[in-house]
Amino acid sequence: MFAAEFEYHRPKTVAEAVKLLRKVKGSRPLAGGHSLLPAMKLRLASPAALIDISRIAELSGIKSTKDGLKIGAMTTHAAIAASAVVRKHCPVLAETAGIIGDLQVRNRGTIGGSVAHADPGADYPTILLLLDARFTAVNGKERQIAAEKFFVDLFTTSLKHGELLSSVTIPSMSSGASAVYLKHRHPASSFAVVGVAALVQVKKGKCADVRIAIGGVTVTPVRAKAAEKLLTGQAPTPENIARAADAVSDAIENPLGDPYASGEFRVHLASVMTKRALIQVTG
């Protein structure tokens, strides 16, 4: 199918893009186009205008700052996967970016486009929730949004109309903490049927700063708080890890299901994968 007619604008600055987004009714930013263009061809989306942000230099790039890693919204998955700065300061993010889709998807798709699209099977939302990332939105002035407030529903974020996501900031991980992202990928699309991210710091034989995020199972990723609590202050023994992993289901309400994986199966998978992730980060 062909997309419905639309206007096309290619601003060179963030200020110009924001002005266009506000001025042109029904307009949407175009980043890598890997989610928006297929949706337009299927007529699931028919924006009146595309504001192509791909030539805005200030939206791309990765910097290490005092607040952590600052990644421009137009930075591609491939650039994040290959970045020496990301590999040094937050290796789990580089590893996650490296398993998104295939090479073509990673070369075009952007971190900003992925999180703004908020697909429940996307990989960044889960890892960014785990890492307590902050999102910077601009619309004249800047607004910071915490990851746990950013993803609000299926394909829905707390970005307001006319707001452009300019960057994602990932706070530095405490030294000694170890993190991993595991995904059970859909064989056709590579999206996560279930994605589990875990972070633990083992101090004097006990687990501290335990964080577990589950994606793909519900409309937005969730933190498994009951499981985190069960493991905090405990030794990472197989029994304690199994007990925490069993509690992951407490965090999951209304699991998603489809012909490939039922809700019940996804919940089971989330628990099994959490166990594997916890063994990996505490081993």
Ligand X SMILES: Cc1cc2nc3c(=O)[nH]c(=O)nc-3n(C[C@H](O)[C@H](O)[C@H](O)COP(=O)(O)OP(=O)(O)OC[C@H]3O[C@@H](n4cnc5c(N)ncnc54)[C@H](O)[C@@H]3O)c2cc1C
Q: What is the C-alpha separation between 218 and 43, in angstroms, rounded?
A: 25
Q: What is the CA radius of gyration of the chain?
A: 19
Kindly tell me which of 114 and 169 has the beta carbon lying closer to ligand X: 114
Question: Under a CB-based contact definition with an 8 Å cutoff, are residues 182 and 86 in contact?
Answer: no
Give the total of residues touching ligand X (CB under 6 A).
Answer: 32
Please say whether the beta carbons of 124 and 163 come within 8 A: no
Q: Does residue 165 touch ligand X according to CB under 6 A?
A: yes
- Any contact of residue 116 with ligand X (CB under 6 A)? yes
Q: Give the x/- contact pattern for ligand X in 73-112, rule: CB under 6 A.
A: x--------------------------xx---x--xxx-x
Residue among 136, 127, 216, 205 at smallest CA distance from 173: 127
List beta partners, residue 211: 199
Residue 136 structure tokens = 């910077």
Stretch of 6-14, 83-91, 121-129, 242-250 contacting ligand X, by CB under 6 A:
121-129
Nearer to ligand X, 123 or 228 (CB): 123
Residue 30 binds ligand X (CB under 6 A): yes
Residue closer to ligand X (CB basis): 75 or 274: 75
Cβ density class 36-70: b for 16+ within 10 Å, e for less: beebbeeeebebebbbbbbebeebbebeeeeebbb
Residues in contact with 195: Cβ distance below 8 Å, sequence separation at least 6, in sequence order: 121, 123, 126, 127, 181, 182, 183, 184, 214, 215, 216, 221
Site string for ligand X, 239-278 (x = CB under 6 A): ----------------------------------------
Q: In the bound complex, what is the minimum distance in angstroms from residue 246's beta carbon to ligand X?
A: 27
Which residue lies nearer to ligand X by CB, 166 or 274?
A: 166
Quote the CA–CA distance of 151 and 139 in Å, as a whole number. Answer: 19
Whichever of 112 and 236 has its CB closer to ligand X, that residue is 112
Q: With binding defined as CB under 6 A, does residue 29 bind ligand X?
A: yes
**Would you say 134 and 183 are in contact if contact means Cβ atoms under 8 Å apart?**
no
Question: Which of residues 11, 18, 32, 128 is near ligand X by CB under 6 A?
Answer: 32
Within 176-195, which residues bind ligand X (CB under 6 A)?
Answer: 189-191
From 11, 68, 113, 236, residue interacting with ligand X (rule: CB under 6 A): 113
Instruction: Label each residue of 45-73 as H, E or C.
Output: CCCCEEEECCCCHHHCCEEEECCEEEEEC
Interface with ligand X (CB under 6 A):
28-36, 53, 73, 100-101, 105, 108-110, 112-114, 116-117, 119, 122-124, 159, 164-165, 189-191
